[in-house]
Amino acid sequence: METIRILQVDAFTDEPLTGNPAGVVPNADGLSADQMQSIAAEMAVSETAFLRSSERADRRVRYFTPSQEVDLCGHATIGSFAHLRDEGLEPGTTTLETNVGTLEIELDDDGTVWMTQDAPQVREVDVGYDRVADALGVDQAALEGASDDIPLAVSSTGLPFLIVPITYLSDLGSADPDVHAIDELAESVGATGVYLFTFDALDRESTLHGRMFAPGAGVPEDPVTGTASGATGAYLDRFGAFDDDLPDELRLEQGHYVDRPGVVRVRVDGDVRVGGRGVTVLDGSLTVPDDEADEILEA
């Protein structure tokens, strides 16, 4: 059996044990899909990134939740490149092959990682506020009151999310989601998960506060979600949420209700870019069973 190096990197933060924890396997060339899925299940964080060599880009990555492969993951990308910076990667632009295509990654001098996401796709959806309110465990009036100018819509910059505005932070914080109903709701509109947000943020410098639920992907509530943040930036731009004067940079708070606070920086200027920092909190080795072997991983 092979032993590999594996890390946990907390993304969208520079404080350990906050933000969104991601698994990172720096050298995954020899691993099969079944082995990667087993490792992700053993790590038991929302996503684990497996870095591989590529003939199309500087690197290839595959992302796995504890239950399935996903095409794109913001926080695991930020975590991966925060680790690579620790290992000596110089500031500048590099390319990353993903399941949705080749993306540009920019590393700033201060350690901020910027991820250019896929071309935005935004579409309104015909789904009742009563169904959405029941699934999220929120007051229907709080949804309808927040949606006078910005509707319910599915937005994607690599992964599709149902974007749901709500009036106040208290409404957001008191949400009591029904994971089965959210799974069915997301599936019915062709989304990976549901991103619930309010402009009533905690920090005066923040644009909004969000929560993301994706039980169908094995993530009941994600602490801080890069792909959903990029999708939300595209959504706000598409529907003119700032009277066609979108700020140069959006700051999206998330994770406070699961005790993992973090901030995602989003820039929308044709392309959608998501930025943040990361800190390594665990660096160790893991024994991987032979491919197709039904064995338990030993950490």
Confidence of residue 243 (pLDDT cuts 50, 70, 90): confident
* 158 lies in the same domain as 87: no
Mean pLDDT to the nearest integer, 77-102? 97
Domain of 26: which CATH number?
3.10.310.10
Q: Please check whether residue 118 is in contact with residue 101, taking contact to mean a CB–CB distance below 8 angstroms.
A: yes
Q: Does any domain span residue 65?
A: yes
Q: In this predicted structure, what is the pLDDT of residue 297?
A: 52
Of 2, 15, 42, 47, which one is the catalytic site residue? Answer: 47
pLDDT digits (tens, 9 = 90+) for 32-87: 999 999 999 999 999 999 999 999 999 999 999 999 999 999 999 999 999 999 99
pLDDT digits (tens, 9 = 90+) for 160-213: 999 999 999 999 999 999 999 999 999 999 999 999 999 999 999 999 999 999
In whole angstroms, give the CA distance from residue 216 to residue 198: 23
Q: Does any domain span residue 192?
A: yes
* 50 lies in the same domain as 139: no
Q: Does any domain span residue 296?
A: no
Q: What is the mean pLDDT of the chain?
A: 95
Q: Please check whether residue 282 is in contact with residue 31, taking contact to mean a CB–CB distance below 8 angstroms.
A: no
Percent of the chain with pLDDT over 70: 97
Q: Residue 68 belongs to what domain range?
A: 2-112+278-288
Mean pLDDT to the nearest integer, 130-155? 95
* 108 lies in the same domain as 128: no
What is the model's pTM? 0.91
DSSP states of the chain: -EEEEEEEEEES-SSTT-SEEEEEES--TT--HHHHHHHHHHH-SSEEEEEE--SSSSEEEEEE-SS-EES--HHHHHHHHHHHHHTTPPSEEEEEEETTEEEEEEE-TTS-EEEE-PPPEEEE----HHHHHHHHT--HHHHHHHTSSS--EEEESSSEEEEEE-S-HHHHHT----HHHHHHHHHHTT-SEEEEEES--SSTT-SEEEEEEEGGGTEEEESS-HHHHHHHHHHHHHTTTTTT---SSEEEEE-GGGT--EEEEEEEESEEEEEE-EEEEEEEEEEEPPTT-----B-
Q: Does any domain span residue 138?
A: yes
Q: Does any domain span residue 293?
A: no
102 pairs with which residues across the strands? 97
* 15 lies in the same domain as 105: yes
Query: How many domains, in total, are found in the chain?
Result: 2
Q: In this predicted structure, what is the pLDDT of residue 288?
A: 92
Confidence of residue 290 (pLDDT cuts 50, 70, 90): confident
* 43 lies in the same domain as 97: yes
* 56 lies in the same domain as 180: no
47 catalytic residue (yes or no): yes
- The pLDDT of residue 294 is above 60: no
